[in-house]
Structure 1
Amino acid sequence: MASAQEAPSPSRTAVDAASRTATPRRGPADPVKALLHRHRDLCERAVDPLEIAAGLEAHGVTDRTAARFRHRDVFSLAEELYARVPRDGEPAPAAEPLPTPRVRADWVLLSLLPGALGTAVVAGLHLTHGRVRPLLVVVGLFMVSLAVRAALRRGPLRAPLGTRAWRAAAGTRACTLWLLGYAVLGDGLLRSVVEGGPDSLPTGAADDPWPLATAPALALLLACAPAAWCAHLLTAGARRRLARCRGLDEFTAAAQPLLWGAFALFLGALAALLTLCGGLLHEPAAYPQTLTLGALLLLARLLTAHRRRYAPALALAAAAMTEAAAPALALAGRLPGCAFLATPVDTLVDKWGPGSVPALACGTAALVLLLHATRTLTRASAHAPTGAPE
């Protein structure tokens, strides 16, 4: 009798087991504390909640992730993290508006310098003859390269310094120089190779079988100023929207029209400069290859200026190798039994001219970079202030 009374009933045992199974293991009472510990360096170094939000987004934290920490978005989560970090017993200051990049006279003048020197060099080529011309070309190219470098080291097109900046910039600089050199000499070289040449080096004369395309080169140098202004408008507009938006998706939706508008504005300015230079120099404007090259260079510089170096380096290298492969394949087709190597190049040149090669190479690379920029340059982490003077 006693043993029967002490034995638990089967139904009660099942209820107790079910209750133990249904009771979940409780996680940490304060999930934000664990996130704070994981990103303590970021939170202690930040000067405002926005910098924390941008850093969290760079680490993969989204609005959906913030919901697991009982916050509606990353900005709200960043505000709590910023408020929790001890700051010598002082109350956390109110968030200040983001610093908007200023229009400074130094980068404005430096962005105009490449175009001014390029205009002087082109004018000298049309006014000089004989042995003076090669010397003018060498000195002019050296001065123009210094001017372009100075323009890219100041203002909105300036690339942030890093431990691998010089190593990454060396290959990118070489590819950029090749693309610019091909814009001047490439079309004439490719046509000459397809026709069986070249028989001599270019002289710069109007009736030279290997002509120089000075109008596209001058337009690209003059476009340094519109490129700097478009980059400034993009950064300033993104900072203003970043201060007003309360969610990452909201900022992305607001930043995409800014990026596309700046890109379209630059292409319009470059097209106008091409028309002007072609008319003044009485040369073909070469719209397809020059516009695609300008688009590629602008997008590569915008990504580099916002700390995205890998994709621009790959895109520039791919375009440069494609341009280099075209005359190489045409020359290789002259070897016995290798005529098939020159068939793709001959087909392109016969149907659409020698400018189709750089237009195809730079256009494809620019399209890839545009898609990449649409995904990366519309994120809050790409436009958060880094503390460097602007």
Structure 2
Amino acid sequence: MHETKIPFGERDGILFRAHEVENGLRCGCVCPGCKQPLNAANNGEKVVPHFRHSKSNDCFDGFREGVRRAAVALIAKHKQLMLPALIETVRVATQDGRLLEEKVELQPVMITADNVERFVDRGSLRGHAVLHQSTRQLIVRIKLSTRMEHERYRQLEALEHSSMEIDLHHLALEQINDPAKFEHAVLHDSVNRLWIRSIRGERLAANALQKLQSVADEINAQSQLEQAAREAAEQARQIELANEKAELQRALEAHRAKQLQMAAKQSASAQDNTTQGRAELIAGTMLRAIQAWGGRAVECTACYLLSPPDSRFCLYCDATTGKVNHVSLSPDIPSTIHKRMRCSAKPTMSMKTVPRLLLRPDLKASAGVPITPVLPEDALQ
């Protein structure tokens, strides 16, 4: 609504504020936008001095055109301008997903131009002010609306010069009428302006990007070396596992052949393949481990019979699911074997997993005396 109140009137090509000229039509001013006569309203005590059209029309350019021309005139007069701040973050991703970042920052700084051109056309684009400093140029746009000008920004970004925007659309009529406040808003306020394109900022960002890329390249190279080492180690491990598997298979085949040879001389009996018989065999191998192997042995996870501690496979069954685990037996086994077997599920589980043994354990001690325990019938109850 304040755009209907025009802050500047034009007379003989010069802009005046309403309080600087006579009241009413005697001001002799025309609208900076439509060039129609203006009335100066500068005698009111409650209304900020301003101009208005002497005849009603649809002109809304007077406010914006006057403020824009007054702002450009200040820039041309003083040849000075506060440049906006710039904060940008440059990022580079490494091959392993890490994100490297570096902040590029320019502080607001006041510059002095060698000369200033007003309202310079660059094809379909107009620079409201163009500041020249040595071989460099800075294109300045004065914004007086809330509308985003994406296409104009795109055109400015395509030019080879830096460009910025000063946003004055928020200024109240009181601020525009105050020469000091208006000058501060145009020349010195670092908050109301932004870069459209900053050549220096782009150079800083490019340098930061190059440094980050060098760091990323080093990280990527190290990652590739580490990955190659991991792959080589994994390949070696797979070869080692394959060799171990092949060796284990050869050892198992040799063991099975030896089992068959021994079974021809000492095969398991029918009694051994009963729950009671299996319990006596389990107990017998436990006693033999105490007496002959120093309480150390390996236990088959399928038939639960104990083999000598250096055995890789069960000597008595050929269950494919069975393995052997090292065990250490308590010295009180001989005196507690009956109680242990009474509460043990191993005989039943042994029969369930291995209904038939290949050969019978040798339960003779070093003196040749049998050590097979005689378990009572209720030992398995």
The bucket for the TM-score relative to the shorter chain is under 0.3
Q: Give the TM-score taking structure 2 as reference length.
A: 0.23
Greater strand content: 2
Identify which of structures 1 and 2 has the higher relative contact order when contacts are C-alpha pairs closer than 8 Å and 6+ apart. Answer: 1
Query: Greater Rg, structure 1 or structure 2?
Result: 2
Q: Normalization by structure 1: what TM-score?
A: 0.23
Structure that is richer in helix per residue? 1
